[in-house]
Amino acid sequence: MASLLMLGLLASLASLVLAPTSAQAATTTCVADATTACIQGTLKTSDGKPAEGVTISAKPESGDALTGTTNAVGRWVIPAKTAGTYTVSLDESTLPSGQFLANAGTNDRKVQVSLGSSAGTLFQLTTTKGATIDNAATNDVTWQRFAQQAVSGIRLGLLLALAAIGLSLVYGTTGLQSFAHGEQVTLGGLLAYTFANVLGLNLILAAVVTVVISAATGFFQDALIWKPLRKKRLSLTQLMIVTIGLSIALQYAFQYFYGAATVRISTANPETVTIGGVTLTVQSYVAMGISIVVLAGAGFFLLKTRTGRATRAVSDNPSLAAASGIDVDRIIRLVWTVAAGLAGLSGVMLGLVLNGVNWQTGLQILLLIFAAVTLGGLGTAFGALVGSMIVGIIVELTNLVLPGDFKYATALLILILILLFRPQGIFGRRERIG
C-alpha cells in the first residue's frame, strides 16, 4: 500500500528578450534553441494529399509578420526569434485549385511561442467554399482513426517495454521498486542530444555511446549505492525512499545543466510515411524496428544463455540460486547495468519519436512503466513486455474519446484495477505479492 501511495503522489507530480524581426523568406528548416522557436505544421488537401506552395504567416503582438511556405510534403515551418503570442494565418489565394479553407471565418490561430521549443497549429481544407465543419464531428471514431491510434499504441508499447523489462528484472532480483528508473530514460535522451546536437556526432554513434554510458551509470549505481545499502540490510521501504530522493536529485540536476526547455536530438524536420492509411514519422518506424530487435535479443539472452538462466533463477528465488552456486551479487550488478542501458535506449527512441526531450520526460512516463510492470507481473521480464504493449495500446486508444494528456490517467486506472482484481499481474505468482 505504501508503494501504491507513492505511485499516486508520482502521478500527481506528473500532471503538474530579443527585438522583433522583420518579415523573412520561406524556409524548410528550423532548429529550436536558446534563441529560436519553431512554428510549424503540415497542410493536407481535403483528400489527404500534400498542399504545396501555400503561404502561412505568423505575426507577433508587435513587429512584422514572418512567413513560410509549404513544401512538397505539405510541411511548413517558420523560425521565430521572439517569444510571445503569435497570430498564424493562411493565405487562401495560394491554396491549390478547388481547395478552400474550412471555417474561413476562423482563419487566424493564436499560438503561444517559447524560445527553445516548437509550437504547431493546423488548418483544415475542404472542396466547398465557405463550408463549416463541426470539429466535434471530425473527432468521430472511424476505422482510420482507430488504426492510427492502435499503431501509435504499439509504438508506445515497444518503447515502454525497453524501460519496463529492466525495471521488472531489478524488482525480480532485488525486490526494489526504483522510482529513479524514469530518470535513466531522461538521461538517455539528454545524452543523445548532447552527443548528436551539441558535439555533432553521427546519430547512430551518439545513440551507441549514450547506451554505453547509461549502462555504466547502472553499474556504478549498484557498486556505490545499492550493494553497500544491501549489506547494511536496509528494508525495501528504506531503499525505495532512497530511489525517490535519487529521482528528485537527478531531475533538478538535469534542469540545472540543460534548462527547462525541450531539446531536440535530431534537428532535421521529421518526414512522414503513410502505410495502409497510417501515418508515422520515419523516426517512429526506425525506433519500432530497433525496439523489436533489442527486445528479441533480450528474450534470447534470458532463455538461451547460461547467464540469462541464472538471472531468471535469481529472480525466482535468490536464496536457492545462491545455494546452487550462482553469484547473486554479480547477477544483480549485471541486471542494474542492463536495465540502465535499456532505459537509456528507450530515452533515445522517445526523444526521436516525440521530437524532443526535457528534464521531466522520464517522470511523465514513469507511471506508464509501473502500470506495465504491474500488469505483466512484478519481476517477470516477459510479463513486462506484454504489459507494456497492453498499456501502450489502451493509452493511445483512449485518445479516441478523451482529449490530450487525459490519456495518461488511463494508466492509473489500469493500475488500480490490477491491484484490486489480480495483484500478481498476468504472469506473476501470487506469493510474490505481500
pLDDT digits (tens, 9 = 90+) for 187-230: 999 999 999 999 999 999 999 999 999 999 999 999 999 999 99
| Confidence at residue 131, expressed as pLDDT on a 0 to 100 scale | 62
What confidence tens digit (pLDDT) does each residue in 39-59 have?
888 888 877 778 888 999 998
- Contact call for residues 391 and 372 (beta carbons, < 8 A): yes
Question: CA 424 to CA 376: how far, in whole Å?
Answer: 8
| Confidence at residue 254, expressed as pLDDT on a 0 to 100 scale | 96
- Contact call for residues 378 and 425 (beta carbons, < 8 A): yes
Report the predicted TM-score, pTM, of the whole model to 2 decimal places.
0.72
- The percent of residues above 70 in pLDDT, for the chain, comes to 86
| Confidence at residue 52, expressed as pLDDT on a 0 to 100 scale | 86
| Confidence at residue 31, expressed as pLDDT on a 0 to 100 scale | 75
SS3 89: strand
- The percent of residues above 90 in pLDDT, for the chain, comes to 44
Residue with cell 517495454: 161
Of 398, 363, 423, 311, nearest in space to 163 by CA: 363
Burial of 278 (0-12, 13-18, 19+ CB in 10 A): middle
